[in-house]
């Protein structure tokens, strides 16, 4: 058991200074003052803000890249790389490559991250419409594999398989029906490339075929100005839009958020994800490729800080894109909030400089006073 004392608590709504008791990986009690309990570890959070643990719903945990040959394939992420930036819940996925990268390896990595204290899930599939699955179908994986929350596919990208409306609808059907049977929400997580078709197929899914918009999850909506115009319209229809912080952006992600809010989009319809560990090119001033780099996993929280400092958003609203909103998008009722019965995932922040000092995942300390406490067996 863990007893957090004197926490300035954002759930994400501001609750004031609270004591929080956890046990068995969940939040057991929240009150102005709780008595000490024999055997419980006590953490004094006085002078700290306490947020729900951060959620990153788009991370290449097993590596990505490869467009510059085999040598450009990025390595696997470690649990420490995620925990150090406050990510207590992660969703792994494949990218362009469904051959050299294995969906079974992705599942194994998700389970490994769980063993190290994180909460980890995955999407089945990859860029293509051709099957890259563990079982025989998307629907079976939604039903029988607890870690599968949905399916990934790419549209409006030269590397995609140019799926037809009917093919997209059939994926959506499998995701939704499989989710219904397995008591999951089920989403089709859609990589958006830069082609002029933008989000047109997604609007047709909703408007022409009347498919429920909450199962359609577009990402990289801030890749270009044109795509973002479509994304704002999608959000006003009730859809959730995901802005990438580590790559694929025409402007700073927090500026995209502020633009959308100023044009009537609710902050409740916007999420951040990192696209972390994707393979990116380094270029010189002339545009020549001079090297390779991995997309960072630590920019989600940095963009939240920018929303507070530069955008004058309240702390409660600013943290929603990496806490409550992705939890709603993924259908994870136990995540993204501080409430009795929710998972005991927390991030402690020093409000004087916004430094992330401590991270707790399912009641276990993953980062303490700035130092990650996860054991990396091959470090």
Q: Is the pLDDT of residue 72 over 90?
A: no
CATH superfamily, domain at 2-51+335-372:
Urease, subunit C, domain 1 (2.30.40.10)
- For the chain, counts of helices (H) and of strands (E): 10, 19
For residue 58, give the nearest of 202, 222, 199 by alpha carbon: 222
pLDDT confidence tier of residue 364, bands split at 50, 70 and 90: very high
Mean pLDDT of 294-304: 97
* Residue 298 appears among annotated catalytic residues: no
For position 116, what pLDDT does the model report? 96
Alpha helices in 211-365 (DSSP H): 225-236, 253-262, 299-309, 315-318, 324-330
Residue 179: band (very low, low, confident or very high) from pLDDT cuts 50, 70, 90: very high
Q: Of all residues in the chain, what percent carry a pLDDT higher than 90?
A: 89
Given CATH 3.20.20.70, say whether it is the number of domain 53-330: no
Alpha carbons within 13 angstroms on the beta-carbon side of residue 336 total 22
Strands 241-244 and 270-273: parallel
| CB neighbours of residue 36 within 10 Å | 10
Q: Are residues 100 and 73 in contact, defined by beta-carbon separation less than 8 angstroms? A: yes
Domain residue ranges of the chain, discontinuous segments joined by +? 2-51+335-372, 53-330
Pairing outcome for strands 355-361 and 364-368: antiparallel
Q: What is the pLDDT of residues 45-58, one digit of tens each?
A: 999 999 999 999 99
Per residue in 218-230, pLDDT (tens digit) is 999 999 999 999 9
pLDDT class of 23 with cuts at 50, 70, 90:
very high
Q: Which of 92-101, 110-119, 142-151 has the lowest mean pLDDT?
A: 92-101
Question: CA of 329: how far to CAs of 12, 228, 272, 321, in Å?
Answer: 16, 19, 11, 10
pLDDT the model gives residue 180? 98
In this structure, the chain runs to a length of 379
**Do 372 and 84 contact (CB within 8 A), yes or no?**
yes
pLDDT for 284 equals 87
Give yes or no on whether 2-51+335-372 and 53-330 have one common fold: no
Reported as a single tens digit per residue, the pLDDT across 186-204 is: 999 999 999 999 999 999 9
Confidence band for 283, pLDDT divided at 50, 70 and 90 = confident
Q: Which of 371, 347, 370 is nearest to 359 (CA)?
A: 347
Beta bridge partners of 187: 150
The whole-number average pLDDT for the span 45-73 is 93
Name the token pair of 369.
Answer: 């006073």
At 186, is the secondary structure helix, strand, or coil? coil
Res 289 pLDDT > 90:
no
Rg (CA), the chain: 20
44 exposure class (CB count in 10 Å sphere: 0-12, 13-18, 19+): exposed
pLDDT at 308: 95
Nearest to residue 257, comparing CAs of 192, 265, 239?
A: 265
Burial class of residue 70 in the structure, from the number of CB atoms within 10 Å of its CB (0-12 exposed, 13-18 middle, 19+ buried): exposed
Q: Which pTM does this prediction carry? A: 0.97
Q: Is the pLDDT of residue 238 over 90?
A: yes
pLDDT at residue 212, as a whole number: 97
29-38 average pLDDT score: 94
Helices 299-309 + 253-262 axis angle, to 10: 50
pLDDT of 246 over the 90 cut: yes
Catalytic residue among 19, 157, 242, 275: 275
* Mean pLDDT score, 225-249: 96
Rounded percentage of the chain residues whose pLDDT exceeds 70: 100
What is the average pLDDT across 164-172? 97
H-run or E-run covering 170: helix 165-182
For range 359-367, the mean pLDDT: 97
- In three-state secondary structure terms, 50 is strand
The pLDDT tens digits of the residues spanning 252-279 come to 999 999 999 999 999 999 999 999 999 9
């Amino acid at each position: 058991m863990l007893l957090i004392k004197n926490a300035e608590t954002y759930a994400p709504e501001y609750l004031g200074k609270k004591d929080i008791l956890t046990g068995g990986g969940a939040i057991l009690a929240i009150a102005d003052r709780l008595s000490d309990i024999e055997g419980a570890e006590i953490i004094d959070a006085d002078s700290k803000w306490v947020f729900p643990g951060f959620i990153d719903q788009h991370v290449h945990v097993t590596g990505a890249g490869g467009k510059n040959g085999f040598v450009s394939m990025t390595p696997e992420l470690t649990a420490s790389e995620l925990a150090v930036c406050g990510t207590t819940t992660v969703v792994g996925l494949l990218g362009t490559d469904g051959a050299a990268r294995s969906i079974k390896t992705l599942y194994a990595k998700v389970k490994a991250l769980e063993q190290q204290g994180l909460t980890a899930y995955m999407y089945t599939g990859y860029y293509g419409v051709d099957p890259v699955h563990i079982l025989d179908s998307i629907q079976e994986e939604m039903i029988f594999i607890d870690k599968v929350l949905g399916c990934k596919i790419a549209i409006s990208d030269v590397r995609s398989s140019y799926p037809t409306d009917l093919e997209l609808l059939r994926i959506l059907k499998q995701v939704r029906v499989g989710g219904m049977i397995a008591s999951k929400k089920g989403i089709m997580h859609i990589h958006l490339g830069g082609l002029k078709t933008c989000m047109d197929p997604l609007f047709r899914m909703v408007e022409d075929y009347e498919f429920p918009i909450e199962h359609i999850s577009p990402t990289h909506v801030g890749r270009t100005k044109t795509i973002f115009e479509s994304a704002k319209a999608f959000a006003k229809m009730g859809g959730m839009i995901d802005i990438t912080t580590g790559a694929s952006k025409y402007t700073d992600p927090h500026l995209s958020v502020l633009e959308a809010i100023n044009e009537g989009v609710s902050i409740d319809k916007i999420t951040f994800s990192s696209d972390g560990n994707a393979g990116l090119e380094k270029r010189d001033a002339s545009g020549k490729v001079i090297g390779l780099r991995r997309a960072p996993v630590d920019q989600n929280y940095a963009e939240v800080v920018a929303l507070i400092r530069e955008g004058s958003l309240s702390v409660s609203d600013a943290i929603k894109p990496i806490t409550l909103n992705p939890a709603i998008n993924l259908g994870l009722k136990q995540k993204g909030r501080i409430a009795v019965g929710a998972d005991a995932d927390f991030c402690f922040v020093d409000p004087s400089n916004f430094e992330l000092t401590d991270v707790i995942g399912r009641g276990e300390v993953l980062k303490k006073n700035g130092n990650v406490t996860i054991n990396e067996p091959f470090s």
